[in-house]
């Protein structure tokens, strides 16, 4: 059972542990504020697209950081990551970027990685979307 006043990672002892840096689920109690990002592609502000999946994933997570920051959220507020790669060969690069993005988080988010046929342009190899939640901040910022 989880604390009804805190967001918590769900990793039941009765099932296989996660393969990497994620939780099997996340419990978000009532009253939380939410941010849902659109899928972010590995494209820089100047429209350049690096050829490597890992570099594209880094750009995806940088864009997600900017979106979360715009709402006053932090990456530690992430409760779910959905990611898509166009080839099994891109999984390692994506996962390395995701693990760096999640490093140091006290509560890891739930995460799904799916191999898809492609995106709107053939040079895109990775797309990432994040759902974040937290309790509203009091007027004094706590």
Residue pLDDT, tens place only, 7-52: 999 999 999 999 888 999 999 999 999 999 999 999 999 999 999 9
Does position 91 have pLDDT exceeding 60, yes or no?
yes
| Average pLDDT rounded to a whole number, residues 89-107 | 97
Please answer whether residues 98 and 21 qualify as being in contact, where contact means their C-beta atoms are separated by less than 8 angstroms: yes
Does position 2 have pLDDT exceeding 50, yes or no?
no
pLDDT, residue 1, reads 41
Q: pTM here? A: 0.90
In the DSSP assignment, the letter for residue 26 is: E
């Amino acid at each position: 059972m989880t604390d009804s006043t805190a967001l918590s990672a769900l990793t039941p002892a009765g099932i296989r542990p996660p393969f990497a840096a994620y939780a099997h689920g996340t419990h978000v109690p009532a009253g939380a504020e939410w941010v849902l990002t659109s899928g972010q592609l590995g494209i820089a502000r100047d429209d350049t697209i690096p050829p490597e999946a890992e570099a594209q994933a880094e750009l995806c997570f940088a864009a997600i950081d900017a979106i979360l920051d715009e709402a006053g959220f932090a990456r530690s507020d992430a409760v779910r990551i959905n990611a898509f790669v166009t080839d099994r060969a891109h999984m390692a690069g994506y996962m390395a970027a995701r693990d760096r993005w999640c490093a140091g988080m006290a509560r890891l988010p739930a995460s799904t990685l799916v191999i898809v046929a492609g995106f709107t342009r053939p040079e895109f190899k990775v797309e990432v979307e994040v759902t974040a939640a937290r309790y509203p901040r009091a007027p004094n910022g706590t």
